[in-house]
Amino acid sequence: MLLFRLFSKLPLKVLFIFSDLFYLLAYYVIGYRKKIVLSNIKHAFPEKSDAEVKGIAKDFYRNFTDSMAETIKLLTMSKKELQRRFVTKNSNLVNDAVDNGEIVIGMCGHFFNWEGHLVTVSSKVGDKCETVYTKLSAPFFEKLMKSIRCRYGAILTERKSFQRTFLRNRNNPRLIVLAADQRPNLSDIRYWTPFMNRETAFFEGGEKLAKKFNTRVIYAHTTKPKRGHYVFEYQVLSAPPYQNHEPHSITDQFIKLLENNIRVEPSLYLWSHNRWKQKKP
């Protein structure tokens, strides 16, 4: 941990030198999950040429290794620099609702740099930010990521215990962050629908929670104007009352916004994740 903290003290422009080296290794030497990355992009954008697909893949690997450098920097990055590099627009949609005693659900996709986004949000709302996550199998990296994510008081709740925790804290106003594009376990699959040109399984926990407890749902459209800088623009994905909503309405709207975000910023999405490993029965 000490070594990571020492690295974190370096200016980000220095850490980006290491990122450039890791990019060359990941793409040209090791080929880290390269077949999965290229296959995922090709399926998502069948209209693009092989050269265009390769260009998105190269940009993805650059963003991927940059995010590693940025995440290490988050260990010691000042609040001023954090909020300069990770800009949140329309954050009053969350802050005002929480201040008024509401629970808000943030349904997010895996766009770089989601770790910086989370830390920035928690730097503003502290322990009123709860993130549902999957515990890492390696104890060291689990401890490291907890140090980063909880630096400003954010609460981490393991996915398997979230339902029980939510019922216990259902009267506590806060932002609940859900990575709603993760691949469910086979036992958790309830909804299959087209996503980026393939039948895809989705969790519907966010939708069920919102409709049962009448909470608004927020989406953050992610862009990267330049290296080391991100913009997360909040918008209302869905809001009560939900009496006339069709089944899957919130999940479908999330997918619509997610796809639009991917088409605007294709290289920011986590293509190395084997999202389509499972096939619809």
Q: What is the pLDDT of residues 241-250, one digit of tens each?
A: 999 899 999 9
Q: Is the pLDDT of residue 58 over 80?
A: yes
Give residue 280's pLDDT: 85
Instruction: Give the number of residues written for the chain.
Output: 281
10-19 pLDDT per residue, tens = 999 999 999 9
Break the chain down into helix, strand, coil percent, rounded to 5. Answer: 50, 20, 30
Residue 2 pLDDT greater than 90, yes or no: no
Q: What is the pLDDT of residue 176?
A: 97
Q: 216: pLDDT confidence band, cut at 50, 70 and 90?
A: very high
Q: What is the predicted pLDDT for the residue at 163?
A: 87
Give residue 239's pLDDT: 95
Residue 281 in this model has a pLDDT that exceeds 90: no
Q: 167 or 185: whose pLDDT is higher?
A: 167
User: How far is C-alpha 172 from the geometric centre of its chain's CA atoms?
Assistant: 23
pLDDT for residue 167 is more than 90: no
pLDDT at site 25: 97
Residues 120/82, Cβ–Cβ less than 8 Å: yes
The token pair at 133 is: 């996550």
Counting Cβ atoms within 10 Å, is residue 137 exposed (0-12), middle (13-18) or buried (19+)? exposed
Letter for the amino acid at 236?
A: V
Residue 279 has pLDDT above 80, yes or no: yes
Residue-level pLDDT at 71 = 97
- For 223-243, the pLDDT digits (tens) are 999 999 999 999 999 999 999
- Distance (Å, whole) CA 14 – CA 122: 26
Q: Report the pLDDT averaged over residues 80-108.
A: 96
Q: Each residue of 19-56: pLDDT tens digit? A: 999 999 999 999 999 999 999 999 999 999 999 999 99
Q: How far is CA 128 from CA 33, 148, 150, 152, 176, in A?
A: 36, 16, 12, 10, 8
| Pairing mode of beta strands 191-195, 198-202 | antiparallel
Q: What totals of helices (H) and strands (E) does the chain contain, helices first?
A: 11, 9
Give the pLDDT mean for 198-225. Answer: 96
Is the pTM higher than 0.85? yes
Single-letter amino acid code for the residue at 49: S
> Is pLDDT above 80 for 107?
yes
Q: What is the mean pLDDT of the chain?
A: 95
According to DSSP, the residues that pair with 157 across neighbouring strands are 132
The DSSP call for residue 222 is E
**Residue 185: its pLDDT value, please?**
78
Measured at the CA of 263, the angle between CA 104 and CA 40, to 5 degrees, comes to 100
Chain centroid offset of residue 33 CA: 20
- The closest alpha carbon to 219, from 248, 267, 254, belongs to 254
Q: Which value, in Å, is the radius of gyration of the alpha carbons in the chain?
A: 19
For residue 187, is pLDDT > 80? Answer: no
Any bridge partners for residue 195, and if so which? 198
